[in-house]
Amino acid sequence: MALLALALGVGVYFGKFRRRAVTFPGQHPAAPEFSLKGLNGESVDLNAFRGKVVLLDFWATWCDPCREEIPRFVELQNEFGKQGLQIVGISMDDDPQPVRDFYRQVRMNYPVAMGDAKTGGLYGGVLGVPIAFMIGRDGLIYAKHVGATSFTTFDDEVTALLQIPASPGLNPVPEVTPRLAQFTCCVNPDVDICRGDRGVGNPPPACASFLHLE
């Protein structure tokens, strides 16, 4: 029984906790720039995240596999945000209201913008969701995942890309705009990046007048 438990533990360790080395073969084109409207009217610009590893997720509320992935993306953002990961969601819904509802329901902790045909076209055509792009600190696309993807893969790729520096001479990354950060924290006040000096469970700054979600 002890041997079985040991074997199980070793299997779990190698299966779950030990990250695999990842390579990114092939060419790495520059990620097309975009400036889209976020859920509260704020601007979501890819350029604002330069110098960070960006997991760009095209999704929709009517997409079952997309909805299943998002809680794990929330975890990833919590786990790697301070190391330089920025997840950005682009919703391909026709209407933002279901997206806002889902954002709050699942306590998403990263920016979500409303996508359009032009942006989909820039990324080679988003003709089915989910589609996720892994963008390095240097602004290049290192991987593209069509359809549901294992989170081991996302974990491993994020870990690997965080090690690849941005191009030399790159200007310091502008911070996420205060409005965008405040929006995220008003909706999900207990995520790591929002607690600050308040401590867990303490109420966030007043948000009712800021959010136009009610």
Partner 1 sequence: MRFLISLSRLSCTLLAISVVASYAYQASTIPSSNLIQVDDLVKIIQAPGGEKPLILQVGSRVLFQQAHIAGSEYVGAASTDAGLQALKKRVEGLPKTKFIVLYCGCCPWSHCPNAEPADKTLRALGFSNVKTLYIANNFGTDWVQKGYPTAKGE
Near partner 1 by CB under 8 A: residue from 94, 175, 197, 214? 94
Question: How far is 96 from 144, CA to CA, in rounded Å?
Answer: 25
Strand segments, DSSP code E, in 18-130 are 35-37, 43-45, 53-59, 85-91, 112-114
Region from 36-44, 64-72, 81-89, 189-197 binding partner 1, contact rule CB under 8 A: 64-72
Minimum CB separation from partner 1 for residue 20, in Å? 16
Should residue 17 be labelled a site residue for partner 1 when binding is judged by CB under 8 A?
Answer: yes
Single-letter amino acid, residue 45:
D
Near partner 1 by CB under 8 A: residue from 35, 105, 150, 163? 105
Region from 80-88, 91-99, 163-171, 182-190 binding partner 1, contact rule CB under 8 A: 91-99
Q: Are strands 131-135 and 141-146 parallel, antiparallel or unpaired?
A: antiparallel
Near partner 1 by CB under 8 A: residue from 120, 149, 173, 207? 120
Indicate the residue among 38 and 115 with the shorter CB distance to partner 1.
115
Indicate the residue among 16 and 212 with the shorter CB distance to partner 1.
16
Should residue 106 be labelled a site residue for partner 1 when binding is judged by CB under 8 A?
Answer: yes
Do 145 and 173 contact (CB within 8 A), yes or no?
A: no
Should residue 92 be labelled a site residue for partner 1 when binding is judged by CB under 8 A?
Answer: yes
- H helical segments located in 28-134: 64-80, 96-106, 117-122
* Binding to partner 1 in span 127-156, by CB under 8 A: 127-129, 146-147
Question: How far is 134 from 169, CA to CA, in rounded Å?
Answer: 22
Which residues on neighbouring strands pair with residue 91, listed in sequence order?
Answer: 59, 114
Minimum CB separation from partner 1 for residue 49, in Å? 23
Should residue 70 be labelled a site residue for partner 1 when binding is judged by CB under 8 A?
Answer: yes
Near partner 1 by CB under 8 A: residue from 8, 20, 68, 152? 68
Residues 6+ apart with CB under 8 A from 139: 30, 31, 50, 167
* Residue 197 in tokens: 């000096």
Which residues on neighbouring strands pair with residue 135, listed in sequence order?
Answer: 54, 141
Residue-wise burial string across 72-82, b where 16 or more C-beta atoms lie within 10 A, e elsewhere:
ebbebbeebbe
Should residue 96 be labelled a site residue for partner 1 when binding is judged by CB under 8 A?
Answer: no
Which residues form the interface with partner 1 (CB under 8 A)?
Answer: 16-17, 60, 62-65, 67-68, 70-72, 74-75, 79, 92-94, 102, 105-106, 115-117, 120-121, 125-129, 146-147
